[in-house]
Structure 1
Amino acid sequence: MSHAIPELISYLEELAEPHILFDDQYRIIAANAAYQRQFGQHFSVIGRTCYDVSHHFSAPCDQSGEVCPIAQARSSGHRERVLHVHHTPKGESYVNIELVPIKNEQGQQVYFVEKMEPLRVKQGNHLRQGLIGRSPDFLHMLEMVARVGPSTANVLLLGESGTGKELVAQALHDASERAKAPFVVVECASLTETLFESELFGHERGAFTGANATRIGLVESASGGTLFLDEVGDIPLPMQVKLLRMLESGTYRRVGSTELRRTDVRFVSATHRDLQAMVADGLFREDLYYRLCTFPIQLPPLRHRAEDIKLLAIALLERVAPQRQLTLSDEALQYLSAYSFPGNVRELRNIMERAALLCDGLLIERSHVERSVASNPIKRIQTLTSPSPSDTEDRSLREIERNELRTQLETHTGSRAELAKKLGISERSLYRKLRALDK
């Protein structure tokens, strides 16, 4: 096999994507020019191990808490694909890895070719916005984004409130061929049935009282790009029919117009609801569900991402208090790691913002975090990893939440946006809860 190595290296040099070649001892034999350009290495990687260069590990990935594509290839006998976090001169980067084993005459895997493709998403600790994490559940979710992102398939994001569904939707858009076109958000929870059709499809002048001018809809605004239907489970049944028609035919009409318009958008939807249960209860159309759910992606709750809490907390502190160089004590981090975060990443952000305000120095102590958690005025249902509460207990908890919300509404004198911030929830979540109060 060794006599073929020069030819293989020559072949890799002609490839546009970054590639490295290494032996069965993980030692890098060659790295093509595209690899050098992409990852900006200013030193030779030849002779070093792949896990040392990419991860700064002292042992192979599968012995250091990461998924190792070599171990997978040895087990399966064929090419493997994984998502890794790589160290680069510009910081950490999410990288798609595709590894191909090369066998000798006896069928033994003696060399490996690895193609690397950085995931086109906002990422890393050095950014104040973007996806941050390295826990297995988070990386699995991001791997699904990497797989489906470049396609045209409709994606349904499933997860609890506060898990970052809009950020993941943006990542899907960034990873697609539509990345330079618009990314448009439809906040389904805040739209009434009368407004939904006009917001989505637009309207003609005079179509209804107050329609003083022609207005394009969000579908038209997203032309060529991605339309993100946030909280799609809140779409009223009559409007589900019209959305389904557009998904099936690719056409729609503005309110007050007979002209048929064609749309060119990719649909990404998100919900915290159990749409399958809603279908069974007749609250969501089954045909619409299957149209939207071509490729479902489950977003993990923060309580399943313990390894990411420190990374997120530090990044969020930089975001909420950029003028201060705040740090967290070990005791504060231990407390956060043990907390269940029913509000997920959004709640962590609010906790960090309150803790920063409670801290006079530069070190946030456990006491600051405890006070920050205790000051949350709304008593939300604690979704722990322990068994779920019974239906009776669940109804009681919901009633407590509703009573607390009614009290806050009676005493609050500011805007709805200010109330949402005070409660530690998004405006969309607040509108959902207000609508529930009227039922």
Structure 2
Amino acid sequence: MSRGSAVTPSTTPPPELVSFLESLAEPHILLDVGYCILAANAAYRRQFGSESSVVGRTCHAVSHRFNVPCDQAGESCPLAQARDSGRCERVLHLHHTPLGEEYVQIELTPVAGANNGPGFFVEKMVPLPVAAQHGPSAHGLIGRSPAFQKMLGLVARVAPSRAAVLLMGESGTGKELVAHAVHQSSSRARRALVPVDCASLPEALFESELFGHEKGAFTGATQARPGLVEAADGGTLFLDEVGDIPLPLQVKLLRLLETGTYRRVGSTDQRHVDLRVVSATHRNLQRMVAEGRFREDLYYRLSIFPIYLPPLRERQGDRALLAHALLERVVPSPRVLQLSDAAVALLEAQRYPGNVRELRNLLERTALLCDGDAIEAEHVQQALACGLPPSEERGVSDPPPIEAQALAIAGLPLRHTAMDDDALRRALAAHQGSRVALAQQLGVSERSLYRRLKALNAKR
């Protein structure tokens, strides 16, 4: 972390305020109205660096390496918000730390100065290890696009509460990972997170799997057995694909949510349980409610705090980050593989209707096709062509020139690969010839290319 320019504090902090911060278990810093860090407590120093490396510098220089406040650099600034509102403000920021970048939940509270003098601001930082960009936690949530940060900010908001969370998004967007993030960032993190795959359980077994059964409750019930609800006591119950729960069982789930009570199959005794419910679905539950296929009262109990998970096509800039991280997960140790720039460009250009799951599968397939220690564009092309009829394979044995690789179209004409705006911008930057030649290289007509370029300019 570079030291950067020191600034002159606008005032001296009261010793009792500094002493109070030192006693707190969470990382805290004290700021003046000019963004200058006046003090950093022991918890902050242990986690983010020594006091001498931060005191006397601005918060935006330390945390983001910005020369100007966050709100002047395209980020939200909690100090500016707290200064205007006069109350505590919370934001999610991606901070530089000694270990790399990680997401931190910021809580910034204004404190009045003595004799109506300049005030102070106390900033509390709560890292979100499930969304760190480095180290062991890199197996969690990864991304830095605005859509991803908006979603993660909602996770940080709701995680410490008891509210039921409904995760909505397409298949492959990482709903189970987000459920883990909610659980791990809650007070229930030391207890179990119990997943229930609602789509795979047949209706006849659903109730006994969820609530358990007594001995002799049905044929084959030779002994009493607790259900998944009991296993989640004190923790979190994750109902994956909740839209597939049969209607007759939805009323029993509703009772569990409303009263915290349930009965095992074959028993008349009510049991109590303390759990939090996180559910997920790729279905449109509101439409199902309108069609009578999902209980309206259950929908409102499950969706106290709904969170939309953006598909990969809406997460501009995240594909490269995910590609590098996922490659580490799919390649067995001790083998280490690197991605070339051209390979990353090809991966970034795909639309991924299967989202992160599809990207992971593609990377695993690509790694199996690579015998060296670096994945090149031709390996990605081969992986993309796997399973295609020979008539649809393009450029597998004869890789395109490096300019076309930089276009990130995997050797396929534009009509066969959905090229997004970012990929088209890279195509323009990499191509040195005429627009006619570019259209030929992309496999589209000049008119089609002209329409895309016109639409691209209109978005600026």
Shorter-chain TM-score: which interval? 0.7 to 0.9
| Counterpart in the other structure of 1:391 | none
CA distance in 1, matches of 2:117, 2:174: 44
| Counterpart in the other structure of 1:362 | 373
Residue identity matched to 2:302: L
| C-alpha contact (below 8 Å) 2:102/2:131 kept by paired residues | no
CA distance in 1, matches of 2:201, 2:418: 28
CA distance in 2, matches of 1:161, 1:102: 46
CA distance in 1, matches of 2:131, 2:151: 15
Task: Tell whether 2:156 aligns with 1:138.
Answer: no
More displaced 10-residue stretch of structure 1: 356-365 or 114-123? 114-123
1:241 to 251, 262, 284: 251
Instruction: Report 1:184-223 matches (<5 A).
Output: 184-223=194-233
| Counterpart in the other structure of 1:87 | 96
CA distance in 1, matches of 2:203, 2:420: 37
CA distance in 1, matches of 2:374, 2:67: 32
* Number of equivalenced pairs: 384
Shift in Å, 1:359: 1.7
Describe the SS at the equivalent of 1:121.
helix
| C-alpha contact (below 8 Å) 2:102/2:132 kept by paired residues | yes
TM-score (norm 1): 0.80
1:29 to 38, 41, 50: 38
Instruction: Show structure 1 runs of 5+ residues with no match.
Output: 387-439
- Would the alpha carbon gap of residues 286 and 364 (structure 1) be closer, same or farther in structure 2, given more than 3 Å must change? same
CA distance in 2, matches of 1:51, 1:251: 49
Task: Tell whether 2:69 aligns with 1:60.
Answer: yes
CA distance in 1, matches of 2:147, 2:304: 21
Q: Deviations over 1:348-369 (max 9, x none)?
A: 1111111111122222222322
Instruction: Report 1:11-22 matches (<5 A).
Output: 11-22=20-31
Residue identity matched to 1:362: D
Shift in Å, 1:77: 5.0
Shift in Å, 1:176: 1.4
| C-alpha contact (below 8 Å) 1:303/1:341 kept by paired residues | yes
Higher relative contact order (CA 8 A, sep 6+): 1
- Would the alpha carbon gap of residues 77 and 246 (structure 1) be closer, same or farther in structure 2, given more than 3 Å must change? closer
- Would the alpha carbon gap of residues 66 and 335 (structure 1) be closer, same or farther in structure 2, given more than 3 Å must change? farther
Task: Tell whether 2:167 aligns with 1:157.
Answer: yes
Q: Deviations over 1:360-408 (max 9, x none)?
A: 2222222322332333679xxx99999xxxxxxxxxxxxxxxxxxxxxx
CA distance in 2, matches of 1:102, 1:251: 45
Describe the SS at the equivalent of 1:2.
coil
CA distance in 2, matches of 1:257, 1:118: 45
- Would the alpha carbon gap of residues 18 and 258 (structure 1) be closer, same or farther in structure 2, given more than 3 Å must change? same
TM-score (norm 2): 0.76
Residue identity matched to 1:273: R
Shift in Å, 1:155: 0.8
CA distance in 1, matches of 2:419, 2:252: 38
Describe the SS at the equivalent of 1:116.
strand
More displaced 10-residue stretch of structure 1: 264-273 or 330-339? 330-339
CA distance in 1, matches of 2:152, 2:118: 29
Task: Tell whether 2:279 aligns with 1:269.
Answer: yes
Q: Deviations over 1:168-197 (max 9, x none)?
A: 111111111111111100000001110100
1:309 to 298, 319, 322: 319
Describe the SS at the equivalent of 1:189.
coil
Describe the SS at the equivalent of 2:318.
helix
Describe the SS at the equivalent of 2:130.
coil
Task: Tell whether 2:271 aligns with 1:250.
Answer: no
Task: Tell whether 2:148 aligns with 1:100.
Answer: no
- Would the alpha carbon gap of residues 135 and 236 (structure 1) be closer, same or farther in structure 2, given more than 3 Å must change? same
- Would the alpha carbon gap of residues 4 and 329 (structure 1) be closer, same or farther in structure 2, given more than 3 Å must change? closer
Describe the SS at the equivalent of 1:206.
coil
More displaced 10-residue stretch of structure 1: 115-124 or 286-295? 115-124
Describe the SS at the equivalent of 1:306.
coil
CA distance in 1, matches of 2:258, 2:122: 42
Larger radius of gyration: 2
| C-alpha contact (below 8 Å) 2:242/2:279 kept by paired residues | yes
Q: Deviations over 1:320-359 (max 9, x none)?
A: 1143322222222222222211111111111111111112
Describe the SS at the equivalent of 2:208.
helix
More displaced 10-residue stretch of structure 1: 199-208 or 6-15? 6-15
More displaced 10-residue stretch of structure 1: 264-273 or 41-50? 41-50
Shift in Å, 1:43: 4.8
CA distance in 2, matches of 1:111, 1:363: 52
- Would the alpha carbon gap of residues 3 and 293 (structure 1) be closer, same or farther in structure 2, given more than 3 Å must change? same
2:385 to 357, 374, 388: 374
Task: Tell whether 2:351 aligns with 1:340.
Answer: yes
Instruction: Report 1:383-398 matches (<5 A).
Output: none
Instruction: Show structure 2 runs of 5+ residues with no match.
Output: 1-9, 390-416, 422-460
Describe the SS at the equivalent of 2:144.
coil
CA distance in 2, matches of 1:214, 1:149: 34
Residue identity matched to 1:357: L
Sequence identity percentage: 64
